[in-house]
Amino acid sequence: AQSVTQPDIHITVSEGASLELRCNYSYGATPYLFWYVQSPGQGLQLLLKYFSGDTLVQGIKGFEAEFKRSQSSFNLRKPSVHWSDAAEYFCAVGANAGNMLTFGGGTRLMVKP
């Protein structure tokens, strides 16, 4: 069965600084990978997804993620963080068709003025 680890429970960055959120997965073949964001009091919104092809994926709100098979990672990045990016971020992995998504424990991002 697949699993997802987000090693950082909390991260604080200054507004305008760059951001990288880590995600490591465990699965024997090429997984389907997702990043979701959850603003306070709301549901999850899809930021980006990776299925195949180019390992650098662009998403909404200026986010990107890079799939690195050798490291079993799918880290989320943003070059310049805005105060509105403060939220909780979830990485998720799906395997073959018919299998469900497995979510990581989430990383809560705080942005300092």
Partner 1 sequence: DVKVTQSSRYLVKRTGEKVFLECVQDMDHENMFWYRQDPGLGLRLIYFSYDVKMKEKGDIPEGYSVSREKKERFSLILESASTNQTSMYLCASSSGTGAPYSNQPQHFGDGTRLSIL
| C-alpha to C-alpha distance for 71 and 17, rounded to whole angstroms | 25
Give whichever of 3 and 80 is closer to partner 1, judged by the CB atom. Answer: 3
| C-alpha to C-alpha distance for 82 and 97, rounded to whole angstroms | 36
CB of 91 vs partner 1, minimal distance in Å: 9
Residues 51-110 that bind partner 1 (CB under 8 A): 51, 90, 92, 94-101, 103-106
- Give phi and psi for 85, each to the nearest 5: -80, -10
| C-alpha to C-alpha distance for 35 and 48, rounded to whole angstroms | 6
CB of 75 vs partner 1, minimal distance in Å: 17
Contact flag: residue 43 with partner 1 (CB under 8 A): yes
Contacts of 110 (CB under 8 A, 6+ apart): 10, 11, 12, 13, 86
Contact flag: residue 42 with partner 1 (CB under 8 A): yes
CB of 101 vs partner 1, minimal distance in Å: 6
Give whichever of 28 and 98 is closer to partner 1, judged by the CB atom. Answer: 98
CB of 66 vs partner 1, minimal distance in Å: 19
